[in-house]
Amino acid sequence: MIDSRFMKTKFKFGIAFIAFLFVFNVSSIVANDIKEKSADPEKDKVLILVLKNILMRGHYVSKDINDKFSEHVFNHFIESLDPSKRYFTQEDIKDFSKYKYQIDNQLLKDDLSFYNLVYSCFLERIKKAKTYYGGILAKPFDYNKDESVDLDYEKMPFAKNNIELFDYWRKQLKLQTLDRIQEENALEIDKFKKDKNYKTKSFSVLEKEARAEVLKSMDELYMRIDELKHEDWFSSYLNAIVSGFDPHTTYMQPNVKEVFDQNISGKLEGIGARLQKKGIYTQIFELVSGGPAWKQGDLEEGDIILKVAQKGKEPLDIVGMRLDDAIKFIKGPKGTEVRLTVKKKIDGTTKEIAIIRDVVELGETFVKSSIVMKNNKKYAIIDLPSFYIDFSDENYRDSAKDMEKEIERLRSEGVEGLIIDLRNNGGGSLKTAIEISGLFIDQGPIVQVKYRGENPVIKKDTDPKMQWDRALVVLVNEFSASASEIFAAAMQDYKRAIILGGNQTYGKGTVQNILPINQFYPKYDKDLGFLKMTIQKFYRINGGSTQKEGVYSDIAMPTRLSYLKNGERDLDGALGWDKVAQADYKQTNSYANFGDVVYNSKQRIASDEKFKKINDYAKWLKENQENATYSLNYEKFIKDNKNKEKEAKQFSSVFEYKSDITFLSPKYEMSLIKENKDLASKRAAWHKNLTKDMYVSEALNVLSELKLSTKSTIVKN
């Protein structure tokens, strides 16, 4: 993300900032509800009107709203409602198809005929589905029947009619039941191995219990689906429309935007508890370390919140309330009091607990580091989980400030080489990506950004201060995306660091702006939510885009994801790769032996049996990903699973690794660990995982071999 003060914009936004990696689809709203009475036709039409105008004016791609676009919306909306083809039949699709090439015309007229037809049909199918699964699970399946089920829903056709649809349901529920029988049978065998006097359950008992568990699971699923409101389903239609421009352009309801803000800033205001839906109840899933509830100690994981009261007001019963609504009452501004009526997990008693809300930092969002000795030299690894920032509070911590401070602390401890771990870092703030890049060069261009139809603008680091001039390795994988790719690409283009990890990063080279929709229709008083819209592409300083291609590692290492479809290039409608003119920059050529170090590492990896095994495992995963057919005959099902277990067993130790290296927290953190047992346990777990991480070990090998071409000096302010 980036705020409007940092970049040229086409609009005047009240709260404008650039978003990098945020994925929203209809499956993520299955903890909300379906109440047709909440439909607001006027609001729906206003949303269509305003979104259409914003996209046509401001999206990076100039898009024709034509028959091809209409077909996209048609397919994506139906798929979003029925991804596993449990509801609609070919007869339904035929009925919907009269609008397949008319949606573009309807959009131009703010006509919702297609949406209304599909949505009303969907509501009826949801009601019918409840009668399906209950009846199917009421009696045992025929496990001797030689039949199979295919779960490749993209290739699977819709059921021809209701009879075939019922059979789809039967097969999918049978597969779920078989899976549970197998799990329970394995547990029974383990119990018998431990106690020869244990009487194992018969197949009929296991089968009955398995069906009961599947039924319970389905009931809970439909309880959550029943909570979804019209606006939740309508948002899936809006997303089918906006995704026609590109896969990262999405519509966000107000509550979704709130979660996004928390993720990018790493903080929230409230009691510091993660909540989950448990049947009709709101339950404490986890307490956030350092938060008000954690400090106070009265709330515990598993407690159920029955009522919520604001200070001086009567309690509100939240039993049966949807989770999102319950959270709204529990959260609140810093310094305010909330009183919770709670049923305690430990003894079932009910008590009232008063908590003063505060700012809660989501600790695992932030930078952390660990120090390690290798070959009598001190090195460090910095974990940067995201490029976080809070644009609403300039004084609050952000990733650039934290990185600068962390590096200063590590320098003071005599660290000679640094690993920046960007694995699974999906991005965040472009502003902080540029500032963090600037910590490793004296000054110069970092990235190029380009609007539709305009020349690229070069974004530079103008601060001559160089916070770190020593050896640097950047660790990436296939999920390092967006802002991570900007940083990795800049370090690679300057030859400032060796990039090590998966073959290539994710490949997201687009920039999104989050727009408050009401700003474009001020006379409308209801909250219309937000549009996350692609407005720019970014390019490396060497001129190439990271879009689809990502950043290719200097040293590619096999990972379990090596052959799976998981990148931008695999997304439907992703923008293409292209290039612009190279920026004016000079490589730092920081290392005297860059090529030799890369060569040595590649030789180690190629001859390492562990990495060879990982490569074989990655190929096996791809083969299994492509095979989505399962036998529903009990004996064949068990046999197939045993064969898969046997195949998988050869890879069971593929990631078993233990180095003799000790990882320690930096000195400044030692006092914090003594005071905070939760932090101590988290760091101990992290350090233990680092010793078992062969990618980190190879990064340390590379780091220890790097030799600076000249003696560097840190430029002080």
User: pLDDT band for position 330 (50/70/90)?
Assistant: confident
More confident residue, 246 or 5: 246
Write the secondary structure of 374-394 as one string of H (helix), E (strand) and C (coil). ECCEEEEEEECCCECCCCCCC
User: pLDDT band for position 4 (50/70/90)?
Assistant: very low
By the 8 A CB rule, do 662 and 373 touch?
yes
What average pLDDT does the structure give for the chain? 87
What is the structure's pLDDT at 12?
28
What is the structure's pLDDT at 28?
33
Q: Is the pTM of this model over 0.85?
A: no
**pLDDT above 60 for 581:** yes
Tokens of 139: 């009696």
Least confident of 140-149, 156-165, 647-656: 647-656
Q: Which residues are catalytic?
A: 482, 493, 508
Domains of the chain: 26-247 (no CATH), 267-361 (2.30.42.10), 364-705 (3.90.226.10)
What is the structure's pLDDT at 403?
96
User: pLDDT band for position 364 (50/70/90)?
Assistant: low
More confident residue, 652 or 448: 448
**pLDDT above 50 for 531:** yes
Secondary structure of residue 403 in the 3-state scheme = helix
By the 8 A CB rule, do 130 and 222 touch?
yes
More confident residue, 678 or 643: 643
What digits encode the pLDDT tens for the residues 81-122? 999 999 999 999 999 999 999 999 999 998 999 999 999 999
Helices and strands in the chain, H and E counts: 20, 23
For residue 224, the tally of other CB atoms under 10 A from its CB is 18
What is the structure's pLDDT at 540?
98
Angle (CA) 185-190-192 rounded to 5° is 95
What digits encode the pLDDT tens for the residues 42-76? 999 999 999 999 999 999 999 999 999 999 999 99
Angle (CA) 509-15-393 rounded to 5° is 95
State percent of the chain over pLDDT 90.
60
By the 8 A CB rule, do 673 and 681 touch?
no
**pLDDT above 70 for 363:** no
What digits encode the pLDDT tens for the residues 228-239? 888 889 999 999
What is the structure's pLDDT at 621?
87
What is the structure's pLDDT at 334?
85
Alpha helices in 367-455 (DSSP H): 399-412, 430-438
Counting Cβ atoms within 10 Å, is residue 369 exposed (0-12), middle (13-18) or buried (19+)?
buried
**By C-alpha distance, which of 661, 665, 667, 699 is closest to 684?**
665
User: pLDDT band for position 38 (50/70/90)?
Assistant: low
What digits encode the pLDDT tens for the residues 119-151? 999 999 999 998 899 999 999 999 999 999 998
What digits encode the pLDDT tens for the residues 368-405? 999 999 999 999 999 998 898 877 667 777 899 999 99
User: pLDDT band for position 471 (50/70/90)?
Assistant: very high
Distance CA 675, CA 681 (A): 12
What is the structure's pLDDT at 228?
84
> Rg of the chain over CA atoms, in angstroms?
28
Residue range 201-213: mean pLDDT, rounded: 94
Backbone φ and ψ of 290, nearest 5°: 90, -10
Distance CA 495, CA 673 (A): 37
State percent of the chain over pLDDT 70.
89
Distance CA 417, CA 512 (A): 34
Tokens of 692: 């078992």
Distance CA 211, CA 280 (A): 22
By the 8 A CB rule, do 391 and 17 touch?
yes
Provide DSSP, 595-642.
Answer: HHHHHHHHHHHHH-HHHHHHHHHHHHHHHHHH--EEE-SHHHHHHHHH
More confident residue, 21 or 579: 579
Distance CA 475, CA 551 (A): 12
Residue range 18-46: mean pLDDT, rounded: 49
Task: Please report, in angstroms and rounded to a whole number, the separation of the first and last CA atoms in the chain.
Answer: 28
Distance CA 513, CA 1 (A): 7
**pLDDT above 60 for 506:** yes
User: pLDDT band for position 712 (50/70/90)?
Assistant: very low
For residue 704, the tally of other CB atoms under 10 A from its CB is 16
Cα distances (Å, whole numbers) of residue 14 to 3, 92, 519: 10, 44, 8
For tokens 């879009």, the residue is 547
**pLDDT above 60 for 35:** no
What is the structure's pLDDT at 267?
58
